Amino acid sequence: MQASSNGKGTSGTKGQPITYEKIPTQIFADSKEASNAVAREIADLIRQKQKENKPCVLGLATGSSPKTVYAILVRMHKEEGLSFKNVISFNLDEYYQMEPDSIYSYHRFMKEQLFNHVDIPKENYFLPDGTVPPALLRDYCMSYENKINAVGGLDFQLLGIGGNGHVGFNEPGSLINSRTRLITLDHSTRVAAGMEFGGLHNVPRKAITLGIAPILNARRVVLLAWGERKASVIRGAVEGPVTEVNPASYLQAHPDVTFVVDESAASELTRIKTPWAVDSVIWDNKMIKKAVTHLSLSLKKPILKLTDKDYNDNGMSDLLAQYGAGYEININVFNQLQHTITGWPGGKANADDTHRPERAQPAKKRVLIFSPHPDDDIISMGGTFQRLVDQGHEVHVAYQTSGNIAVADDEALRFIDFVVDFNKGFHIDSPDTNKLFLDAKEFLKHTKDSEIDTPEIRKVKGLLRRGEAKATCRFVGIPTSQAHFLDMPFYETGTVQKKPIGEDDIRIIENLIEEVKPHQIYAAGDFADPHGTHKVCWDAIEAALQRSKHKNFMKDCWVWLYRGAWAEWDIYEIEMAVPMSPDQVLKKRQGIFKHQSQKDGVVFQGEDSREFWQRAEERNRGTALLYDSLGLAEYEAMEAFVRWKF
């Protein structure tokens, strides 16, 4: 698929071009396609330099964004003979203080992702040293830049972008002439890294980073960004002013830079968010819904109050010309939104379902909810889960992973300690349990950054989360026999870094679908991180669905995607919205509270410091507020879904 790279449009005066994007930006359907294009460019550069008998000097990045690029380069080395013998690489940054063998170090990351799998000479790759004594740091940083200059400078610099616009670890406030240095990390950067480190308290406060000036000195720069969480900062860098508040905006001054993004990361760019303001568009139904809801919300006017003048004044005159009066367009979009709202997510028996999002038949459906982690079901669709049960459907929940890495060490110790005391209290002689407790206590007391939890500790943490999930099922009202704990193998590495999905993962999903024979499937549809657990879990579900779609029972199966506590579907995308009363919101909160290990100090907080129940309620109330603002019925809260079709 070709990437979209046109950032130009026409102004109100015909033929007068305007440019919104100050940095060339290529938009791909997904991160895999985008990564493949970037990997091909790097490979072509390496081969060209080989023909010229010259070294290829690469500046490399870490984090989740370049992982697929590195995986493709490794495949090209193994399958296409791409050699890295002429490559010299310099990484952007490293945490400080950080031992190179730590599981959190970028030295280890680069070896695991790339260096150990290709033929680059060990003396040819360089990363900042996170163990340099403070007194020597200034000279060390100068010498790191001098090494780059000594080999002729960077031919190609690969970048990611932080949620606050940082490139490398050049945080907001960094100057355009900044050099390689020790920097104090922004709080938002540390919070975002909390997932990799098992909590904010473990994240270093400082890092060594290549400065803005040496990054801009690279002959070619490519920046990667995936997911809607990067959308706002991408728009600022690409369309906004050059400012130290968004360091990525400095790249506007580079003569050969390209931003490579997926559709989600591009969603705030003018040509994506309001394409009718940039150029002529095809006014299909989806585009009309997007434009009308955007117009309504931006003008703060209910849809049914929009006028022809509103359309004309906001670049939508051609929509009026094509479809007639604004009133007719308003009615059409209003009715479509109205028809997404239902209190019967499993369908309403003996009712006309012409304008309902779900079928009336069969009256009692078999429902299979896939939950990537042991709490995603209740956090993301707890109100709908409860409705399905209350309305008599046979609801099954499939917990795809154990969720063990999200359990704090002290929670695991408390759990083991309880079992030891339980055995003593009931005179159960269990030397193995006592030994497990003592071994776990000793391990956690002396564990190093380079060590992962023992299999026994991971098992304990997984059992703790399994018990919480069972408690949620009992609370909602389904027997625990309808709770399926899949423990998918890709997850069980003991670290945030997971294995790719394999045949065993897909077969587990496929077998469960065959066993339940569902009429409805619900699955997590938030894919902001292409390497995140939600996305990998969906990849396994999708592969299993493709294998099963020819079976007779699948002809009656509809698949609905929900989103988690991080973000929600755009209003024009929503195809089913399930309203909740204040009492139902409170009951959902109580269900979330069953996951005690995830309360009062979540291990993987992300960029939002609130607890999951708070995020979920804000998201659900926000969805209801959108419907209300558009002129539809006012509800306390809503959960939203999009249908996925084979």
Average of per-residue pLDDT across 238-245: 97
Window from 37-51, 120-134, 263-277, 609-623 with minimum mean pLDDT: 609-623
Distance, in Å, from the CA atom of 203 to the CA atom of 169, rounded to the nearest integer, reads: 14
> Nearest Cα to 194, choosing from 496, 595, 568?
496
DSSP state of 421: H
**SS3 assignment, position 178:** coil
**Residue 609's pLDDT is what?**
63
Structure tokens at 185: 């990390």
**Residue 456's pLDDT is what?**
85
Distance, in Å, from the CA atom of 209 to the CA atom of 93, rounded to the nearest integer, reads: 4
**Residue 18's pLDDT is what?**
54
pLDDT band at 286 (very low <50, low <70, confident <90, very high): very high
Instruction: Please tell me which residue, 6 or 128, carries the higher pLDDT value.
Output: 128
Helix axes of 431-446 and 455-476: crossing angle, nearest 10 degrees: 110
DSSP states of 235-263: HHHHHS--BTTBGGGGGGG-SSEEEEEET
Q: What is the largest CA-CA distance in the chain?
A: 87
Distance, in Å, from the CA atom of 238 to the CA atom of 229, rounded to the nearest integer, reads: 15
Average of per-residue pLDDT across 174-183: 97
Which residues are CB-contacts of 496 (< 8 A; sequence separation ≥ 6)?
A: 195, 196, 198, 405
**Residue 19's pLDDT is what?**
64
pLDDT at 325 over 80: yes
Angle (CA) 60-62-66 rounded to 5° is 80
Instruction: Please tell me which residue, 534 or 386, carries the higher pLDDT value.
Output: 386
pLDDT at 605 over 70: no
Instruction: Please tell me which residue, 443 or 554, carries the higher pLDDT value.
Output: 554
**Residue 211's pLDDT is what?**
98
Q: Are 482 and 394 in contact (CB under 8 A)?
A: yes
Average of per-residue pLDDT across 241-265: 97
Q: In the block, which residue shows the tokens 């849809």? A: 303
**Residue 3's pLDDT is what?**
61
Which residues are CB-contacts of 570 (< 8 A; sequence separation ≥ 6)?
A: 267, 290
DSSP state of 155: S
Average of per-residue pLDDT across 66-75: 97
- Specify the DSSP element, H or E, that contains 390: helix 376-390
Window from 320-324, 393-397, 573-577, 628-632 with minimum mean pLDDT: 320-324
**Residue 439's pLDDT is what?**
83
Strand-strand pairing, 394-399 and 483-485:
parallel
Window from 440-444, 598-602, 620-624 with minimum mean pLDDT: 598-602
> Nearest Cα to 157, choosing from 38, 32, 33?
38
**Residue 12's pLDDT is what?**
41
Average of per-residue pLDDT across 238-265: 97
Helix runs in 100-160, H state only: 106-113, 137-150
pLDDT at 424 over 80: yes
Distance, in Å, from the CA atom of 39 to the CA atom of 17, rounded to the nearest integer, reads: 33
Average of per-residue pLDDT across 139-165: 97
Cα separations in angstroms, 101 against 104, 173, 202, 573 = 8, 31, 16, 45
Exposed/middle/buried for residue 308 (C-beta within 10 Å: 0-12, 13-18, 19+): middle
Q: Are 228 and 567 in contact (CB under 8 A)?
A: yes
Residues annotated catalytic, as ranges: 171
Average of per-residue pLDDT across 549-574: 91
Average of per-residue pLDDT across 518-528: 92
Structure tokens at 245: 């508040």
Instruction: Please tell me which residue, 447 or 637, carries the higher pLDDT value.
Output: 637
Distance, in Å, from the CA atom of 510 to the CA atom of 520, rounded to the nearest integer, reads: 15
pLDDT at 122 over 50: yes
Average of per-residue pLDDT across 213-231: 96
**Residue 207's pLDDT is what?**
98
Q: In the block, which residue shows the tokens 């002013």? A: 241
pLDDT tens-digit map of 93-118: 999 999 999 989 999 999 999 999 99
pLDDT band at 16 (very low <50, low <70, confident <90, very high): very low
Q: Are 495 and 533 in contact (CB under 8 A)?
A: no
Cα separations in angstroms, 182 against 106, 171, 225, 617 = 16, 11, 25, 40
pLDDT at 8 over 50: no
**Residue 163's pLDDT is what?**
93
**SS3 assignment, position 395:** strand
pLDDT tens-digit map of 435-470: 887 888 788 777 765 567 888 888 889 999 999 999
Distance, in Å, from the CA atom of 278 to the CA atom of 453, rounded to the nearest integer, reads: 53
Instruction: Please tell me which residue, 616 or 201, carries the higher pLDDT value.
Output: 616
Cα separations in angstroms, 25 against 2, 77, 106, 235, 535 = 13, 28, 28, 10, 24
**Residue 304's pLDDT is what?**
98
Distance, in Å, from the CA atom of 237 to the CA atom of 242, rounded to the nearest integer, reads: 7
Exposure string of 236-251, with b = 16+ CB inside 10 Å and e = fewer, is bbbbbebebebbbbbb
pTM for the complete prediction?
0.87
**Residue 201's pLDDT is what?**
81
Window from 172-181, 219-228, 529-538 with minimum mean pLDDT: 529-538
- The phi, psi pair for 317, rounded to 5°, reads -65, -35
Q: In the block, which residue shows the tokens 């995936």? A: 226
DSSP state of 97: S
Exposed/middle/buried for residue 193 (C-beta within 10 Å: 0-12, 13-18, 19+): buried
Distance, in Å, from the CA atom of 459 to the CA atom of 65, rounded to the nearest integer, reads: 30
**Residue 419's pLDDT is what?**
86
**Residue 240's pLDDT is what?**
97
**Residue 4's pLDDT is what?**
59
pLDDT at 224 over 70: yes
pLDDT band at 124 (very low <50, low <70, confident <90, very high): very high
